[in-house]
Structure 1
Amino acid sequence: MDAISFESRADEIRKHVSLQGFMNLLGAELDELTPGSSTLSVSRRSDLLQQNGLFHGGVTAFLIDNGTTIAAATVLNSQQGVLTAEYKLNLFSPADGDQLICRSRVVKPGSRLVIVAADVFTKKDGREKQTAVALATIAVLDQSSLPLLRHAG
């Protein structure tokens, strides 16, 4: 995919992501989008934390779920959609920073399944610490098989 066609695809992906209510609810941002990768982040808010003041594991899981599907979408065409088929998540360090960052990258593109890896970091005092890692299988769907988006106006 050349730079011009990727920019067109990236614009489509950004538009679809901006329509996701849960992204907006969490205040998550799509920070970077390149062929085969994406970076999502969310800033610390009290309603995203668990009882010990750490980012809730569900926030990490969401970033992985969404980040890996977005990365997979970058290697597909506009007639194809993506849905998470499964992911394996390992949480190995407390997410105690001011920001949570998920960097996803396509490991193996395919016509039916795309394999994507993700690394999650917490950022505190300008330094990043890895808190989680995941491997996801993303199903490739024909866009026409997905329900139409309907928005309350």
Structure 2
Amino acid sequence: MPETTIDSTQLSGLELLRTAMTMPDRPPFIGDLVGMEIEELEHGRVVFALRTRPDFANPLGTTHGGICATLLDSVMGCAVHTTLEAGVGYTTLELKINYIRAVPVDGQRLTATGSTIHVGRTTATAEGRVIDEQSRLVAHATTTCAIFRGSR
């Protein structure tokens, strides 16, 4: 079954994300690979969650740091995206992550929150946090994104 296409030139970033994530035949996204669930999509703030699983393991048997990195890059980038006008794109320029604690691969629910700090004409910055089921900080990060406004 072909995916429905969305005209990103007609929808703001927030409208595009809300539309895409609620479509029954929505376009695929990185979250499908790791089982991300979208919990909140607001202007400048998003919340995604997932459950750890055995195939997320690093050689030490705990959740690989790339899982938190993917969560953080996703929530921070999408937080920036929610603030952009129709037809405006972005990409991650820089991602800085601090890992605080190891997470088991036994189905722990990790929740990531991303919030914008600054959205300018050509760059944006955002911050993110991942917490576990006990509300303990697992990792936190910042990002810088390039904004592509085209010729106006």
TM-score normalised according to structure 1 size: 0.78
Q: What are the residue-to-residue correspondences of 1:17-32 with 2, within 5 Å?
A: 18-32=26-40
* 1:59-117 per-position Cα deviation (integer Å, ceiling 9, x unaligned): 00001111111000111112111211101101011123611111010011111111000
Structure 1 pair 68–20 and aligned structure 2 pair: CA distance change class (3 A)? farther
Partners in 2 of 1:118 and 1:110 — Cα distance?
A: 19
Q: Give the secondary-structure state (helix, strand or coil) at the position aligned to 2:136.
A: strand
In structure 1, the residue matched to 2:135 is 128
Residue 17 of structure 2 corresponds to residue 10 of structure 1: no
Structure 1 pair 77–42 and aligned structure 2 pair: CA distance change class (3 A)? same
Contact persistence 2:13–2:83 (CA under 8 A): no
Q: What are the residue-to-residue correspondences of 1:1-153 with 2, within 5 Å?
A: 9-16=13-20, 18-96=26-104, 98-123=108-133, 127-142=134-149
Q: Give the secondary-structure state (helix, strand or coil) at the position aligned to 1:47.
A: helix
Q: Which runs of 5+ in 1 are unaligned?
A: 1-6, 145-153
* 1:31-54 per-position Cα deviation (integer Å, ceiling 9, x unaligned): 111111111111122112224442
Displacement of 1:9 = 4.7
Partners in 2 of 1:52 and 1:15 — Cα distance?
A: 39
Amino acid paired to 1:13: L
Could you list the structure 1 runs, at least 4 aligned residues long, displaced by more than 4 angstroms after superposition.
15-18
Q: Which runs of 5+ in 2 are unaligned?
A: 1-10
Structure holding more helix per residue = 1
Amino acid paired to 2:57: L
Q: Give the secondary-structure state (helix, strand or coil) at the position aligned to 2:30.
A: helix
Amino acid paired to 1:133: H
Report the identity percentage.
25
Structure holding more strand per residue = 1
In structure 1, the residue matched to 2:5 is none
Matched residue pairs, number? 135
TM-score normalised according to structure 2 size: 0.78
The structure with higher relative contact order (CA 8 Å, sep 6+) is 2
Partners in 2 of 1:30 and 1:106 — Cα distance?
A: 17
Contact persistence 1:68–1:138 (CA under 8 A): no
